Amino acid sequence: MTVIRLAGVQDVEEMAELSRRSFDPPLRDHLVTTQPRTGEFWRIFVEHPGSFPGLRFLVADAGPGGIVGLADFRHPEPATGFLSHVCVSAAARGQGLATALMRAYLEERPDVQRMELDVFEGSTAARRLYEHLGFRARSSSSWWTMPLPTSERDTDTGIAFADLHGSFARFGLFGFCELHGTFRDREFHVGRIGEEVLRLFSPDDASDTGLLGALGAVFPTLSRALVVTPGDSAPALERLELLDRSVRMAAEDLRAIAGPS
């Protein structure tokens, strides 16, 4: 029998493996929740819940069958729950496990009166499920990728990182990290996701070939950048490819998730 329970430290590697298997490349390569060492990141949440109030990791445990589902919830504002991430192993889909994970969360949190989540447009099974559970689209964002310019070796590129040792340490441990610093006297904030992907938090950085070249010189395995923009409009840049669109959905009536009382 499959039971829904709170995730434990012993589950984190299996959870990360399940998450990784649930998304196909190339989406998988661009998400922090699907990197090979994400379990180490989750271990800290699961092991130190007091430091992360409102955050909840639940798993669907099939006993000898292992962990077949997981969901991670946040509580961004009073009465609102946020489903950050849910996945169910391919063999266990269509049996109500994703719904059961959401229901278990609502049973724990009777103060939650509405739910929000983000779903990729290309995740048709997830979108259909959420629509049947009463979620409606509220806004969207577009995820673009672009190749990075090839760079010379790291010499004096004009880039200075705020905590390069810390960023290398985080990347070594988790397989992703954020990078802060200055480039030619302006501040920047970007991220690395796996060896190849540079996450740009500001779309303006996508047209700054000097910054991109300097980052590529410091991290020579980077091959492409990921830029997220609001709505459907594309930034005026060459060689952009649409990876997917992310849709923010909200449910104001949670009875379809909670089931018959």
Ligand X SMILES: CC(C)(COP(=O)(O)OP(=O)(O)OC[C@H]1O[C@@H](n2cnc3c(N)ncnc32)[C@H](O)[C@@H]1OP(=O)(O)O)[C@@H](O)C(=O)NCCC(=O)NCCS
Indicate whether 67 belongs to the interface with ligand X (CB under 6 A). no
Residue showing the smallest CB distance to ligand X in the complex: 96
Single out the segment in contact with ligand X by CB under 6 A; choices: 3-11, 127-135, 175-183, 217-225. 127-135
CA atoms within 13 A on the CB side of 195: 3
Closer residue to ligand X (CB): 38 or 167: 38
Residue 5 structure tokens: 């329970």
Segment contacting ligand X (CB under 6 A): 81-89, 146-154, 175-183, 229-237? 81-89
In this chain, which stretch among 5-13, 84-92, 147-155, 251-259 interacts with ligand X, using CB under 6 A? 84-92
Interacting residue with ligand X among 28, 37, 74, 93 (CB under 6 A)? 93
- Exposed, middle or buried by CB within 10 Å (0-12, 13-18, 19+), for 39? buried
Among 59, 70, 98, 212, binds ligand X (CB under 6 A): 98
Placement of tokens 């047209």 in the chain: 207
**Which pair of tokens denotes residue 246?**
């992310």
Strand (E) or helix (H) holding 38: helix 38-47
Q: How far apart are CA 241 and CA 169, in angstroms?
A: 31
CA distance 244 to 122: 7
247 binds ligand X (CB under 6 A): no
Does 86 participate in binding ligand X (rule CB under 6 A)?
yes
The least CB distance from residue 79 to ligand X, in Å, is 22
Residue 248 binds ligand X (CB under 6 A) = no
The count of other CB atoms within 10 Å of the CB of residue 170 is: 17
Site for ligand X in 170-229 (CB under 6 A): none
